[in-house]
Amino acid sequence: MLQNKEGTRVPDVTFRTRRGSDWVNVTSDEIFKGRTVALFSLPGAFTPTCSSSHVPRYNQLAREFARHGVDEIVCVSVNDAFVMNEWQEDQQAWNIRFLPDGNGEFSDRMGMLVDKEDLGFGRRSWRYSMLVRDGVIEKMFIESEKPGDPFDVSDADTMLAWLAPDAPKPLDAAIFSRKGCPHCARAKQALEQADIAFEEMVLNRDYTDRSLRAVTGRKTFPQVFINGALIGGADDLEQWLAARAKA
């Protein structure tokens, strides 16, 4: 049975990491001592849920975590340093420290090393997250022990909601833009001034004008979406932000 280790100290281990062409040892103290860390651990690099949901959302919400006192977000997996570095680059997840637990020592001493031999994985970490303050585990979210790869409580939104229960939920914003578009620049500036993080998709790099028409029914730039709703162009966005500020 997996153990909840709230109130105990994190294991004292040395992680073998790679920086450039050099091996660099990183100790638990270097990561946790005198710091507040949100750590999540998962079964494996490049695996579906880990790559499509677990890592991206923590990376997206890094600024929100920082606002609420988290010094660093750490992703742990029982993979070697080369794999973890390649995975971070593939994910473009530069807001997270990818920490290789190649021998499974950290996961084992956390009581989270489990048998995944049926998948050809060998021994891997169970999926969980935790908040650590100055080396002491304050809160853990451990996925239920059921078949498969459950992903219900160790996600970034659950951790953030526990960390800052009264804070408004962060908005999800995206903008369809094109190079050299002054209205696109104005929309991006408006989002930045409103402190709303967003993802930008650029015409003929990330999508075509056909995709824009299919998704929005429009053919002008930019087109801004927030929380699944089409806001529209720069003028529409400015009106939306003004109404939000008055609410």
CATH of the domain at 74: 3.40.30.10
For the chain, the domain total comes to 2
Q: Is residue 6 part of a domain?
A: no
Q: Is residue 3 part of a domain?
A: no
Evaluate the CA torsion angle 24, 43, 125, 58 in order and state its sign. Answer: positive
Q: Is residue 91 part of a domain?
A: yes
Nearest to 40 by CA among 158, 144, 202, 198: 158
pLDDT class of 87 with cuts at 50, 70, 90: very high
Residues 90 and 184 in one domain: no
Please compute the mean of the pLDDT values over residues 190-206 and round it to a whole number: 96
Domain that holds residue 113: 14-163
Q: Is residue 74 part of a domain?
A: yes
Sheet strand arrangement including 128-133: 97-100, 72-77, 36-42, 128-133, 136-142
Among the candidates 163, 193, 211, a domain finishes at 163
What one-letter code names the amino acid at 184? C
Instruction: Report CA-CA distances (Å) from 119 to 47, 81, 124, 165, 243.
Output: 12, 22, 11, 37, 52
| CA 169 – CA 156 distance, rounded (Å) | 12
Please compute the mean of the pLDDT values over residues 117-143 and round it to a whole number: 95
Whether the per-residue pLDDT at 247 is higher than 90: the answer is: no
Residues 44 and 106 in one domain: yes
Residues 139 and 26 in one domain: yes
Residues 138 and 206 in one domain: no
Q: What is the pLDDT of residue 218?
A: 96
Residues 150 and 177 in one domain: no
Q: What is the pLDDT of residue 76?
A: 98
Predicted TM-score of the model (pTM): 0.91
Residues 185 and 152 in one domain: no
Residues 24 and 127 in one domain: yes
Please compute the mean of the pLDDT values over residues 27-43 and round it to a whole number: 98
The string of pLDDT tens digits covering residues 5-27 is 999 999 999 999 999 999 999 99
Residues 150 and 180 in one domain: no
Among the candidates 113, 141, 163, a domain finishes at 163
Whether the per-residue pLDDT at 118 is higher than 90: the answer is: no
Residues 139 and 187 in one domain: no
The DSSP secondary structure of 174-192, one letter per residue, reads EEEE-TT-HHHHHHHHHHH
Q: Is residue 98 part of a domain?
A: yes
Instruction: For the beta carbon of residue 191, count every other beta carbon within 10 angstroms.
Output: 20
Residues 195 and 154 in one domain: no
The string of pLDDT tens digits covering residues 206-232 is 999 999 999 999 999 999 999 999 999
Q: Is residue 58 part of a domain?
A: yes
Length of the chain: 247
Whether the per-residue pLDDT at 119 is higher than 90: the answer is: no
Residues 82 and 118 in one domain: yes
Q: What are phi and psi of 199, to 5 degrees?
A: -110, 140
Residues designated catalytic: 50
Among the candidates 163, 190, 223, a domain finishes at 163
The overall average pLDDT reported for the chain is 96
Please compute the mean of the pLDDT values over residues 23-51 and round it to a whole number: 97
Percentage of the chain beyond pLDDT 70 is 100
Residues 148 and 103 in one domain: yes
Contact 188, 236 (CB under 8 A): no
Q: Is residue 123 part of a domain?
A: yes
